[in-house]
């Protein structure tokens, strides 16, 4: 389209300036993004080269941000171009001059690119939306309002409009489905099954930060828990990757009925029941009462206290924040897992794979002595992760190769909430290309995410 197209956009921009007091950058940004103009057609063309290059990358959007960029792009394009091409120290100086945080600028560019990449779904023009500089306090509200203006015919919960949520698989489909008046029950690939009452609470909740949190909050509230209890329970369910099944639904109802007026922590009750499930596969709440669960917790405390007082080394006690684990049930449970019996880990099987005529195995480490041996053999610090594994904060896996000479350790992997956050080899070396391919196959098979 070239120069004529840009002139038409510029005329539209002038009309918007008369209404809002400044030139919005959209005419320039849209033309660059969709290759409707060339750099040489732009005024001050050198200032826009870096911006044009930015839109050709495919980095994922990660944060919501403010609207300062709309003004800066047109008023001070040289500063923006300098920012995109500068080093870290110079970026900070430029942001101080422009009175914008560095992460605001970078995430704002990602935000714009995200909106343009889904332009085919717009139901209204962006020029009808009031683009304005806004404070840190209301930036998330303005982002939500912008998405509602562009995409929505019907009201959608803010859970579905955070940029970090929209960039996850299927989330954009769910948002567009709801924005067009669809129901979550018919949303494509929506993984959570809820009753009508749970769905109502799910759509109305506003204080949680993710769709998963809203799901567990609605489950807990319908189970009879108070707001405080539900907030505590949802954090435990997400941290320990509790599965939505009939047994755990009955556990939530049991707690909502028997512990509604109790002073005991919901996390303590959930930790005790989870411990019983790992120890006894046939564990059931049938015939149990709140009093019997309390007695079971006290009995477990006495077992741990007996081991604690049996003369264990001081370094064992230093793994915990308190000198005695008796004051904190989760630390008490971690102590038991570390020094009495191995921890349960995450509910995933060991994985064997044959590739290029080599036999590999991914094995989860669930005992303290095995963890310390892994750290010693691989010459890194994983041996000190015992308390984290025992508390359920992470799970440690070892990638090994079966050779004629025996087992060769290749990588140690740290997993948190279904994400592989740290991958290290001997003396903290990074993974090779072949090792990364094996982890990719495993993560796809087990529905994991590689971020480390």
Looking at the fold, whether 284 and 415 belong to one and the same domain comes out as no
How many domains does the chain contain in total? Answer: 3
Looking at the fold, whether 35 and 158 belong to one and the same domain comes out as yes
Looking at the fold, whether 114 and 238 belong to one and the same domain comes out as no
Looking at the fold, whether 281 and 366 belong to one and the same domain comes out as no
Domain that holds residue 140: 2-166
For the chain, give the mean pLDDT.
Answer: 75
Tell me, what's the pLDDT at 357?
86
**What pLDDT band is residue 392 in, cutting at 50, 70 and 90?**
confident
| Within-domain flag for 400 | yes
Looking at the fold, whether 136 and 232 belong to one and the same domain comes out as no
Residue 378 pLDDT > 50: yes
Looking at the fold, whether 65 and 159 belong to one and the same domain comes out as yes
Mean pLDDT along residues 426-435: 92
Looking at the fold, whether 157 and 11 belong to one and the same domain comes out as yes
| Within-domain flag for 274 | yes
Tell me, what's the pLDDT at 71?
45
pLDDT digits (tens, 9 = 90+) for 300-330: 877 777 766 654 544 444 444 444 444 567 7
Among 124, 151, 166, the domain-final residue is 166
pTM over 0.85: no
Tell me, what's the pLDDT at 95?
58
Tell me, what's the pLDDT at 109?
59
Looking at the fold, whether 158 and 212 belong to one and the same domain comes out as no
| Within-domain flag for 295 | no
154 Cβ contact list (under 8 Å, min separation 6): 178, 179, 180, 181
Residue 346 pLDDT > 80: yes
Looking at the fold, whether 24 and 161 belong to one and the same domain comes out as yes
Residue 410 pLDDT > 60: yes
Looking at the fold, whether 197 and 154 belong to one and the same domain comes out as no
Looking at the fold, whether 139 and 23 belong to one and the same domain comes out as yes
**What pLDDT band is residue 426 in, cutting at 50, 70 and 90?**
very high
Tell me, what's the pLDDT at 119?
81
CA distance 128 to 303: 68
CA distances (Å), origin 47, targets 31, 50, 74, 345: 15, 7, 10, 54
Sheet with strand 406-416: strands edge to edge: 351-355, 358-365, 395-403, 406-416, 419-424, 449-450
Closest CA to 16 of 113, 122, 131, 108: 131
**What pLDDT band is residue 269 in, cutting at 50, 70 and 90?**
very high
Residue 363 pLDDT > 90: yes
Tell me, what's the pLDDT at 393?
84
Query: Could you tell me the two tokens for 153?
Result: 């015919």
Tell me, what's the pLDDT at 316?
47
What's the sign of the alpha-carbon dihedral 288, 275, 252, 195?
negative
| Within-domain flag for 317 | no
| Within-domain flag for 420 | yes
Q: How much of the chain exceeds pLDDT 90, in percent?
A: 29
């Amino acid at each position: 389209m070239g120069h004529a197209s840009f002139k038409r956009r510029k005329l539209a921009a002038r009309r918007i300036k008369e209404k809002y007091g400044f030139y919005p950058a959209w005419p320039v940004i849209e033309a660059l993004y969709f290759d409707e103009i060339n750099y040489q057609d732009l005024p001050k063309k050198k200032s826009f080269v870096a911006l044009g290059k930015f839109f050709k990358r495919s980095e994922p959007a990660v944060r919501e941000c403010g609207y300062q960029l709309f003004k800066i792009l047109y008023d001070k394009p040289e500063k923006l171009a300098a920012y995109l091409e500068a080093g870290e120290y110079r970026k900070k100086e430029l942001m101080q001059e422009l009175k914008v945080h560095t992460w605001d600028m970078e995430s704002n560019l990602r935000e714009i690119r995200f909106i343009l990449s889904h332009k085919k779904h717009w139901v209204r023009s962006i020029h009808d939306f009031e683009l304005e500089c806004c404070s840190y306090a209301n930036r998330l509200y303005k982002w939500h309002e912008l998405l509602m203006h562009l995409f929505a015919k019907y009201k959608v919960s803010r859970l579905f409009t955070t940029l970090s949520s929209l960039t996850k698989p299927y989330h954009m489909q769910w948002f567009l489905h709801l924005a067009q008046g669809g129901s979550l029950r018919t949303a494509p690939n929506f993984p959570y099954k809820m009753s009508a009452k749970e769905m109502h609470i799910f759509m109305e909740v506003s204080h949680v930060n993710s769709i998963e949190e809203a799901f567990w909050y609605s489950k807990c509230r319908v189970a009879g828990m108070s707001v405080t209890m539900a907030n505590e329970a949802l954090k435990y369910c997400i941290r320990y990757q509790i599965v939505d099944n009939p047994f755990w639904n009955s556990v939530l109802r049991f707690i909502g009925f028997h512990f509604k007026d109790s002073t005991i922590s919901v996390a303590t009750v959930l930790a005790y029941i989870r411990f019983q499930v790992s120890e006894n596969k046939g564990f059931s709440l049938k015939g149990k009462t709140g009093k019997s669960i309390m007695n079971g917790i006290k009995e477990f405390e006495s077992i741990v206290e007996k081991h604690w007082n049996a003369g264990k080394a001081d370094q064992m006690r230093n793994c915990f924040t308190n000198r005695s684990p008796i004051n904190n049930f989760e630390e008490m449970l971690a102590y038991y897992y570390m020094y009495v019996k191995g921890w349960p880990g995450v509910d995933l099987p060991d994985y064997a794979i044959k590739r290029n005529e080599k036999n590999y195995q991914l094995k989860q480490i669930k005992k303290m002595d095995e963890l310390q041996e892994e750290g010693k053999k691989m010459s890194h610090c994983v041996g000190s992760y015992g308390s984290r594994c025992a508390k359920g904060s992470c799970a440690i896996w070892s990638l090994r190769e079966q050779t004629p000479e025996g087992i060769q350790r290749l990588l140690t992997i740290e997993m948190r909430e279904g994400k592989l956050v740290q991958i290290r080899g001997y003396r903290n070396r990074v993974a090779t290309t072949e090792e990364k391919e094996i982890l990719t196959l495993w993560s796809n098979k087990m529905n994991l995410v590689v971020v480390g």
